[in-house]
Amino acid sequence: MTRFLTSRVLSLAFVLWLVTIIAFVVIRLAPGDPSAVMLGSDATPQAVAEFRAAYGLDRPIAVQYLAWLGHIVRGDLGTSIYLGRPVTTAILERLPISLTLTLGAFAIAVVLGVTLGLVAAYWHDTWVDRVVSVVAALGLSMPSFWLGICLIYLFAVRWPVLPSGGFVEPWIDPAKSFRHLVLPAFALGYLQSGLIARMARASMLEALRGDFVRVARSKGVGELRVVVKHAFRNALIPVLTVTGITLAVMFGGAVVIETVFTLPGVGRLLVNAVVRRDYPVVQGTLLVVAAWYVVVNIAVDILYTASDPRVRLRAS
């Protein structure tokens, strides 16, 4: 089991290294230069040259990459050209906001998705199933920002019961923070619950048809216990996989939701950096997002091996 996890960690570390190449090369090879944005179009060639020298933009790409990689390894993502501050600091300041949003949305997505999936599987091919499939399909198709705007309209404008945006740290005022989080977390979570619901339904349907379910029922085990204890536990593995994917990609959705609800998170940082051509920030954010993906995947692998004896056996 340790060997299995070690090899997974190594391969994910390799993925992270490849992402540094994507983040660096793709972005640096492009036309356009931060000096043009920072200094304006009527800057003298001398000012441009000085700016480029100051940020190391005049060195060969390979040298720039190695220097950058050397700094990353030490936790230094460079200095933001626009903010004039370390990228690491800027990201760390905003990370709690994005993480709070992501985890809140994740909780909603899992609870909603698994419940919908179980209900649809138990009453499959009835109207319940069809309603769930419509709810899930809507989640997969609706633009998150539109859902966000509609929620703001309904619950902050029409019936003003919740704030329309902004962020309050949960460790400062938990109740207020929760109220600020409800709408954005729901907008993000609902959209991702569709995928989980679909997987939970399919996997649960298969489990409910299993012989062990028939055995449990014939032994006289209560229906709720059959569903939750016997069927659901066996249906859990594929659901776990898709949940992991959800948590990993949710960061992408958070970018948009942060814009709708004016949350100063990592997503806002990225979008602003793109508009300002602040390359170090764009690269740093990409790496943090990829690191998040890697961490989530390792966590899923550990849960995998812990929860399924078959995986445990194959790994050892």
Where on the chain is the footprint of other proteins (CB under 8 A)? 14-16, 18-19, 21-23, 26-27, 29-32, 137-138, 140-146, 149-150, 152-153, 157, 248-249, 251-253, 255-256, 259-260, 270-271, 273-275, 277, 279, 282, 285-286, 289-290, 293-294
Q: How far is the CB of 36 from other proteins (least distance, A)?
A: 12
Give the closest residue to 52 by CA, choosing from 41, 68, 39, 65. Answer: 39
For 231, the enclosing helix (H) or strand (E) is none
d(CA 120, CA 132): 6
CB of 175 to other proteins, least distance (A): 26
Query: Based on CB atoms, which residue is closest to other proteins, 105 or 270?
Result: 270
Q: How far is the CB of 294 from other proteins (least distance, A)?
A: 7
Reported as half-sphere exposure (CB side, CA atoms, 13 A), residue 260 has a value of 25
For other proteins, give the closer residue by CB, 88 or 283: 283
- 94 closest CA partner among 282, 292, 288, 265: 265
| Nearest CB to other proteins, comparing residues 216 and 273 | 273
Nearer to other proteins, 230 or 301 (CB): 301
Residue 88 backbone dihedrals phi, psi, to 5 degrees: -55, -45
User: What's the chain's length in residues?
Assistant: 316
Taking the C-alpha atoms of residue 189 and residue 101, their distance in angstroms, rounded to an integer, is: 9
In the complex, minimum distance from the CB of residue 159 to other proteins, in angstroms, rounded to a whole number: 13
∠17-22-23 over CA atoms, to 5°?
90
Nearer to other proteins, 140 or 228 (CB): 140
Helix (H, G, I), strand (E, B) or coil at 171: coil
The distance of Cα 172 from the centroid of its chain, to the nearest Å, equals: 24
Q: How far is the CB of 183 from other proteins (least distance, A)?
A: 13
Shortest Cβ 124–other proteins spacing (Å): 13
Min separation Cβ 256 and other proteins, Å:
6
DSSP one-letter string for 36-99: HHHH-TT--HHHHHHHHHHTTTTS-HHHHHHHHHHHHHTT---B-TTT-SBHHHHHHHHHHHHH
Q: What are phi and psi of 82, to 5 degrees?
A: -85, -45
To other proteins, the closest distance from the beta carbon of 27 in angstroms equals 5
Complex with other proteins: residue 170 or 264, whichever CB lies closer: 264
Q: Which is nearer to other proteins, 167 or 293 (CB)?
A: 293
CB closer to other proteins, 114 vs 250:
250
